[in-house]
Amino acid sequence: MTPTKMKTPISIFFPLLSLLSFISFPASSQNLDNFLQCLSLQFPNSSSITNVTYTQQNSSYESVLEASIRNRRFNTPSTPKPLVIVTPSLESHIQATISCSKENGMNFRIRSGGHDYEGLSYVSSETPFVILDLVNFRSVQIDVANNTAWVQSGATIGVLYNTIAKTSTTLGFTAGVWATVGVGGHFSGGGYGMVTRKYGLASDNVIDARIIDVNGRILDREAMGEDLFWAIRGGGGASFGVILAWKINLVSVPETVTVFRVPRTLEQNATNLVHRWQYVADKMDENLTVRIFLRRVNSSLGVNGTTVEAAFTSLYLGGIDTLLPLMQQSFPELGLVRENCTEMSWIQSVLNFGGFSINQPIDVLLNRSSVVDSLYFKGKSDFVTEPISLTGIETILKRFNEQPQLESSEVSFNPYGARMSEISVSETPFPYRNGTIYNLHYSVSWQEEGASAFDRHMNWIRDFYAFMAPYVTQNPRSAYLNYRDLDIGVNNATGNTSYEQASVWGLKYFGVNFERLAQVKTVADPGNFFSVEQSIPVL
C-alpha cells in the first residue's frame, strides 16, 4: 500500500490565548518582504499559500503559534518569536517554504506536536526564523490486511492510537503514553512506551517514510537510500529534512490486558523493592513491563512530614490469571495480589497511562491540547547498565526526599531487556540495547510565575542530576534524544559546528552511531540548512 494524497483542511482554528510581546529582528522587515514575495512567485495563480502563512501582523498569528507550545519556559515576553509561521496543507507548500527560507537566510524550525523538551521545534536562538507547522499533515491510513499504517508527521500518537482502535481490537502500536505528542519528533527520536519490551521502540517498527530533502525532492525509502532511512529512525529527523509520513508495522495486542499500580513508601520497604526491581525488571516476561515512578508525598510517618513513594506501575499483555504467577515467579517481593489488578482493553490502557479515565470515550485522544500546556517544565535522562547498590538506592531516595518545596517532581525507572536486547546497537541510531537495564527520566514542573520559582525548580533538577552521576553510565554519560536536554551541550549559535564540538552532546545521545549520523548529514544536507541547537553536524 502506498500513501494516497491525504486531504487536510487549509484553515485550522485554535483557541485564542494571551498576547505575547514581540522580539524585533534586525532587517526582519526586509527578510519578511522577500520571503513572502518568494512564496507568492511560486504560486502565481493561487492564494493557497497565503491562506496558511501567518506573519506577526496576522490576527491569527498568536493562536497558531501558541496552539502547540507545550512548555511555558518557552512562552514568555522574552522568548524569540518566528518572523512567519507556515501551516502547509500541500506538499508543494513545504517545498516552497524550504526554498524561500534558504534563499532568504531564514533559520528553519519544524513542528509536529510541540513537545520538544527544549522547545526547539518552535524557538530559535538564531533569528530571523520560520516555523513550518505540520498540524494539517495529520492523516492516518490503516491497512488491516497487512497490519501496517501510513501516519503523517503532524498526527499525534493519540490520533494514531484512536484510529487503530476504531479499526481493530487486536492491533496496537509501540509508542509513548502522552496523547498530544506528535509522531514526527517521537518516531524520529526513538519512541519508548509500555510495550517497548515486547516490540521495541516506535522507530524500530518504521518500514518506510516520505521525506522532503533540502533540495525539495520528495523521497521514499528506496529513493532516499538505506543510510538516510537509517538516520531518521532515531537520529532526529529535523537534522535531515521534513518527514511527511511514516509507514509502520502495527503490533498484535490481546483483547484483554492487565494494569496495576502498587505504591510503596519508604516506610513500606520501598528502598529494598526498588533495589530488587533492578535485578528482575529487564528479565521479566516480554509481555510484562513494570515501571517505577518516584514522587515525594506527605506522610505523618515520614521525616519532616514527607516520604518518598515508589509506584510500581505495569502493563501486562494478558489476563490476571496469567499475570499473578508470573509476578510470583519474577518479583514476589512486591506482593502483588488480584485486588491490585484491573483487566481492560489495550485502548483503555492507553487512556489509563495517558491520564484519562478508562471509561472516557476514546475520542479524548484526538484533543491536541493538554494540562501540560500551562506548566513550566524541565526534563533530563540517564541510562543504567549496572544495578545500583542498596546503599546507593537508600542514598538516592533520601536525597530525593530532601528536595526544597517543589510543585511537582518525579523520577521514573523505565525497564529495557526482552526485544530491546535483541536489536543490535547499530541497527538504528538509538544505541541503548543489550546490557541496558533501565532508563532514568527526571522531571520537574510548576505553575508559579517569577524568577524565584524558576530558579528553585531548575536548580533542583540540575543539582539532582549532578548528584546521580556516580550511579549511571559514564564516558559518555548517556542520554535519550526524546528527553532533549540542552544542558549537556549545544552547537555554535551561528555557522557550522565541528564534529568534535558536537560530540560533547552527540556521543551522549547516540554513542558509536554519532559518526555515521554525521556522515549521512554531510551527504543529505551539506550546507547545514536543517540546523538547530543540537542538530547533527556536517563533517
504 phi/psi in degrees, rounded to 5: -55, -40
Q: Dig out the grid coordinates for 262 from the structure.
A: 502498587
Beta pairing class for 218-219 and 206-212:
antiparallel
- Taking the C-alpha atoms of residue 134 and residue 210, their distance in angstroms, rounded to an integer, is 14
Q: Across the strands, what pairs with 130?
A: 84, 108
Type of residue at 74: F
In one-letter notation, the amino acid at residue 259 is V
Q: Phi-psi bin for 475: left (phi > 0), alpha (psi -120 to 50), beta?
A: left
Catalytic hit among 480, 483, 499, 509: 483
Q: 53 - beta bridge partners?
A: 86
Q: Residues, the chain, total?
A: 539
* Cell numbers standing for residue 105: 537566510
HEC string for 320-346: HHHHHHHHHHHCHHHCCCHHHEEEECH
Cβ count within 10 A of residue 363: 10
Handedness of CA 117, 119, 122, 126 (dihedral sign): negative
Please indicate whether residue 483 is annotated as part of the active site.
Answer: yes
3-state secondary structure of 160: helix
In whole angstroms, give the CA distance from residue 357 to residue 206.
Answer: 30
Catalytic residue numbers read: 483
